């Protein structure tokens, strides 16, 4: 069990909430799950079995008053999140940190109706949180430093790789990086330059292999040989700027959506469940390999 927390709350037992529950259950941390859906206990049992550390309550406020930290994973609607956090804030002890898994909203937006907004933090995981180590942590305009630091410590004690964002941005950092790649990917597919399956191959069997081991900046630095990143930017920086100017701005209209969907459906050929299971197992093996190689500490 993590020494940082005696009990954790999970608000919302959808895909992200269930993944938080799996992570916490592996650490044998008592979990209070709040979700109004009567099928919630059955869904939780499907991923953690008859786990004796799980307690079920109907509302978020009841969960928040019982725990040291809350992982909110409710609907991605700002009105819902503000209501949830106001209710949790009214019932939780002052030292309880209230975190949101929001993939796009900022903590300042979420904490707006709280009387003690200083303990509201966004802790955005990457799906699935029980497998992918990254969590982006950012405080809002009213968030106190202790809440951010406690969140970072708790996540590290759970085996996560938290990174701290020093500014609030819609979509945080990792999703914005993904969005930048998707923007050009959709443009290239929409222009007929490449098929969906070939674009996926270009990443999965090219830069994606290296990015899984080291990030894009470190990878670029290593590609420069003895001169490192400075050599790369001196020699390849100017043409890269020209590429930036040539990047597309696709319109996500029905025709492009249909092309993307039909392309990925053909690529996966009805094997989505099997591919997801194989992907998750490969992720587990990759994380073990990163740790054994020492790259997990250097990435």
Confidence (pLDDT) at 123: 98
Q: 11 with 91: CB under 8 angstroms? A: no
Say yes or no to pLDDT of 130 above 60: yes
d(CA 98, CA 85): 8
d(CA 278, CA 273): 9
52 falls in which pLDDT band (50, 70, 90)? confident
d(CA 187, CA 177): 16
d(CA 164, CA 185): 28
d(CA 55, CA 48): 13
Confidence (pLDDT) at 214: 93
Instruction: For residues 267-284, give the mean pLDDT.
Output: 95
Confidence (pLDDT) at 297: 64
pLDDT digits (tens, 9 = 90+) for 6-41: 999 999 999 999 999 999 999 999 999 999 999 999
Confidence (pLDDT) at 299: 39
pLDDT digits (tens, 9 = 90+) for 157-206: 999 999 999 999 999 999 999 999 999 999 999 999 999 999 999 999 99
Confidence (pLDDT) at 3: 66
Ordered domains of the chain (ranges, CATH): 8-164 (3.40.50.720), 174-268 (1.10.1040.10)
Q: Which residues contact 194 (CB under 8 A, 6 or more apart)?
A: 188, 202
58 falls in which pLDDT band (50, 70, 90)? confident
Say yes or no to pLDDT of 294 above 70: yes
Give the global pTM. 0.90
Computed over every residue of the chain, the mean pLDDT equals 94
Work out the percent of the chain whose per-residue pLDDT is above 90. Answer: 92
Torsion of CA 157, 161, 165, 171, to 10 degrees: -120
Say yes or no to pLDDT of 149 above 60: yes
| Beta-bridge partner residues of 122 | 100, 138
Say yes or no to pLDDT of 114 above 90: yes
């Amino acid at each position: 069990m993590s020494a940082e927390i005696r009990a954790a709350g999970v608000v919302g037992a959808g895909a992200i909430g269930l993944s938080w529950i799996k992570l916490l259950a592996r650490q044998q941390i008592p979990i209070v799950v709040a979700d109004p859906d009567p099928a919630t206990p059955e869904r939780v049992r499907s991923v953690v079995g008859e786990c004796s550390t799980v307690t079920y309550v109907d509302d978020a406020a009841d969960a928040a008053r019982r725990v040291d930290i809350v992982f909110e994973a409710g609907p991605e609607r700002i009105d819902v999140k503000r209501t949830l956090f106001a209710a949790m804030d009214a019932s939780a002890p002052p030292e309880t940190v209230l975190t949101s898994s929001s993939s796009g909203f900022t903590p300042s937006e979420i904490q707006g109706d709280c009387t003690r907004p200083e303990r509201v933090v966004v802790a955005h995981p990457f799906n699935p949180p029980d497998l992918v180590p990254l969590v982006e942590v950012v405080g809002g305009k009213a968030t106190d430093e202790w809440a951010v630091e406690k969140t970072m410590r708790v996540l590290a004690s759970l085996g996560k790789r938290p990174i701290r964002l020093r500014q609030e941005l819609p979509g945080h950092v990792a999703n914005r990086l993904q969005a930048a790649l998707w923007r050009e990917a959709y443009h290239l597919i929409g222009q007929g330059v490449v098929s969906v399956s070939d674009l996926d191959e270009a990443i999965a069997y090219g830069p994606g292999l290296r990015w899984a081991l080291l990030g894009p900046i470190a990878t670029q630095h290593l590609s420069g040989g003895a001169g490192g990143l400075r050599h790369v930017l001196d020699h390849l920086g100017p043409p890269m700027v020209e590429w930036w100017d040539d990047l597309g701005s696709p319109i996500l209209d029905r025709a492009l959506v249909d092309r993307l969907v039909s392309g990925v459906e053909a690529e996966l050929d009805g094997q989505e469940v099997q591919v997801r299971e194989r992907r998750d197992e490969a992720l587990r093996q990759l994380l073990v390999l990163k740790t054994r190689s020492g790259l997990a500490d250097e990435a």
